[in-house]
Amino acid sequence: MENKKIDKFVEMINKCNNIVFFGGAGVSTESGIPDFRSKDGLYNQHDVQFDQYTPEYLLSHSCLYQDSKVFYEFYRQKLNTNDIEPNKAHYFLTKLEKSGKLKAIITQNIDGLHQKAGSQNVYEIHGTTYRNYCDKCHKQYPQDYIFKSKEAIPHCKCGGMIRPDVTLYEEGLPENAVYHSIMALRKADMLIIGGTSLTVYPAASYIREFHGKYLVVINRDPLRIQLRKDDLEINDSIGEVFGELEKRMNI
């Protein structure tokens, strides 16, 4: 890790009072949650039970309603993160929020770990496995309801199907989360992009709404985005980078 870059990062944070963090799967992989597209990611985990389907189909609106048993079996096996704990990156962002500098977290992750770490202002633009609802009467159900239900396809008393509040393929992103994300980006004087390759659209396009002074990118692999002269890119573990920041900032 380059000390000069960490020093510059600290200096940038100290000069800002409206920071937004935009994060992806790389924030959660350090908690042991596989991402989707890497060599060892969820989409490349071969399972005889599901090999006849594409990963995109298994997490699609079509699968949920046309092959419901398949959808729920895959969902229960692969997306249960209830026993996963936040890591250094999540906890640092919570502290940065409590300091008053971080105004919003925009996450593409659906695991709820930012809230579990104590963050308050989190916009989940792909939804979350921590919320479930009836698709007919919209009654809310506890976060672990689907995972613990003995029904192959969980149903509400009204007859509707209980589904996760996750944005599936073929579904639009949640309008409220998208609106507040864009508003936060437009107001920010600093944007930190972490743990994302910025390849998932339309979510990745929202960073174009940022026109503030400082941009910092933290990702293990370089991103193919045009950086400005004073922008900062750090190709390292986001948990380790934030761990160093915490030591130097004493927050």
The values of phi and psi at residue 159, to 5°, are 100, -10
pLDDT 10s digit of each residue in the chain, 251 long?
688 999 999 999 999 999 999 999 999 999 999 876 555 656 566 666 888 998 899 999 999 999 999 999 999 999 999 899 999 999 999 999 999 999 999 999 999 999 999 999 999 999 999 999 999 999 999 999 999 999 999 999 999 999 999 999 999 999 999 999 999 999 999 999 999 888 777 877 898 999 999 999 999 888 777 778 889 999 999 999 999 999 998 77
- The pLDDT, as a whole number, for residue 148 is 95
Rounded Cα distance, 200 and 210, in Å? 18
Catalytic residue set: 126
- The pLDDT, as a whole number, for residue 112 is 95
- The pLDDT, as a whole number, for residue 50 is 83
Shared fold status for 3-33+85-126+172-249 and 42-82+134-166? no
> What is the residue extent of each domain of the chain?
3-33+85-126+172-249, 42-82+134-166
Decide: 153 and 115 in contact? Cβ < 8 Å.
Answer: no
- The pLDDT, as a whole number, for residue 228 is 81
CATH architecture observed for domain 3-33+85-126+172-249: 3-Layer(aba) Sandwich (3.40)
Rounded Cα distance, 146 and 110, in Å? 15
The pTM score is: 0.92
Tokens 């937004």 map to which residue? 20
CATH classification number, 42-82+134-166, choose in 3.30.1600, 3.40.50, 2.30.30, 2.60.120:
3.30.1600
Sign of the alpha-carbon dihedral angle for 60, 64, 69, 72: positive
- The pLDDT, as a whole number, for residue 40 is 60
Summarize pLDDT for 34-47 with one digit per residue, the tens.
876 555 656 566 66
DSSP secondary structure string for all residues of 183-208: HHHHH-SEEEEES--S-STTGGGGGG
**Using omega within 30 degrees of 0 as the cis cutoff, is the peptide bond preceding 202 cis?**
yes
Sign of the alpha-carbon dihedral angle for 39, 43, 49, 54: negative
- The pLDDT, as a whole number, for residue 223 is 77
- The pLDDT, as a whole number, for residue 168 is 97
